[in-house]
Amino acid sequence: MINANLAKKFVERIAKYTDYNINIMNDQGIIIASRNPERIGSFHETAYNMIRFNLEISSVSNGDALLGVQNGVNLLVRYGKQPIAVVGVTGDPEKVREIAMIIKMSLETMVRYESQQELEFSKITAHNRFFSLLFLEESPSPEQLKQLAEKLEFSTEKIRIPIMLYFAPECRLEQEMAGIQSYATGEDMIWTVDHRHILVYKDLEQRAAPALASWHNQTAEWLQRIETSVAYERAYVGTMQYNLCDYHLGLAACRWLEKNLSVGEQVLYFMEHLDEYLFSLLPATEMHGIFNVYDHALEEESKQSLLKMAGSLQKNDFNLVKSSEELFLHKNTLVFRLNKLRAALGINPFQSANDKLLMTCLYHYLKGKQ
């Protein structure tokens, strides 16, 4: 069914370029727009029959014999294959046929354009509502999330990973967004968080176990690809999610990275800092009850040495060669210092998993007290 306001707007525009009288009838045969305002609301028998019987054209030369009909040419207006209206041009059928065809095609073009605009606006509105539900509301309805996702043509059967990109104040996010979208797939969810951040929930293109092994490579490769077009300063990669109701948790992981880790690397992965996150959840009183004696008994120099060495060892998976290079120490020097620390603590983190955990916990406790 054609919109009456659109029909009226169309007739007003056409009237600027022709003196012919034009009428537009809806699918019930009612005149909804006319150059002659007195005819609006009248029943048009020919238009009613054309829509009823799917007739493309009707020339009328004996209009007086038909209800609400004058001489002229009437043409069926379609949206796709669906008849939605009839447009009529009053006058001698032979003289007005050609102009009637042009007007019909113009009206169909306008209907398609307006419908497309409405669809795009509807998607934008749905897009905003969808992301508000995902990230701003405390208890979003799973059913509503699913309905909006389907409307936006997002599959709900996907594993995705959040990547929060941070931009400098001078960046224009509209331009950066366009760059991101050019590298996105139809299943990537993209949201402007605020004036400095854009969140991409990247589709990992796999539904089950393979994503567990490939997520890091997929994410790194995608970030590398967009570098030439997207001027992000830092990227925070959160946790993989499957259920739409849990997507806010992935964003929370990105925000934790930004808040708690000092800027160094351009890309930070939450899963590479899992120990720090888990220790941050422990109550300070619990950590104090376990490690306060270590803090009291160790000399300040020993504590600082532990912080440097344990931090580097954790980062490098307790690889002595990599840690010595990072600390600008000869490997033997690092081993000597570690032996002193091991003797002072009575542990060997290279032989005992429990001792390794103890050193890690002590490191986080002392780091938290700085």
Q: Which two tokens stand for residue 170?
A: 């001078």
Residues 258 and 350 both lie in one domain: no
Residue 164 Cα to chain centre, angstroms = 11
363 falls within a domain? yes
Query: Is there a domain that residue 128 lies in?
Result: no
Q: Domain for residue 162, yes or no?
A: yes
Point out the residues of the chain with pLDDT beneath 70.
62-68, 116-124, 206-209, 263
288 and 334 share a domain? yes
Helix (H, G, I), strand (E, B) or coil at 318: coil
Q: What is the pTM of this model?
A: 0.62
Query: Does residue 199 share a domain with residue 213?
Result: yes
- pLDDT of the residue at 50: 92
pLDDT at 66: 67
Residue type, 249: L
User: In this structure, are 23 and 84 located in the same domain?
Assistant: yes
Please name the residue that has the structure tokens 């949201």. Answer: 191
- Classify residue 90 by its DSSP letter: E
Instruction: Give strand ranges (E) for the chain.
Output: 22-25, 31-34, 57-60, 72-79, 82-90, 160-166, 189-192, 197-203, 234-237, 267-269
Domain CATH code at residue 236: 3.30.70.270
Give the pLDDT score at 133: 85
Cβ-defined contacts of 186-193 (< 8 Å, 24+):
186/153, 187/154, 187/155, 187/158, 187/160, 188/160, 189/131, 189/154, 189/160, 191/131, 191/134, 191/135, 193/135, 193/164, 193/251
Q: Which tokens in the block code for residue 279?
A: 């220790």
DSSP 8-state secondary structure symbol assigned to residue 184: -
Q: What is the pLDDT of residue 122?
A: 52
Same domain, 162 and 273: yes
| Predicted local confidence at residue 63, as pLDDT | 57
Looking at residue 65, what is its pLDDT? 60
Q: Which domain holds residue 310?
A: 282-369
Report if residue 28 sits inside a domain.
Answer: yes
Q: Work out how many domains the chain is built from and give that number.
A: 3
Q: State the residue for tokens 């030439």.
A: 228
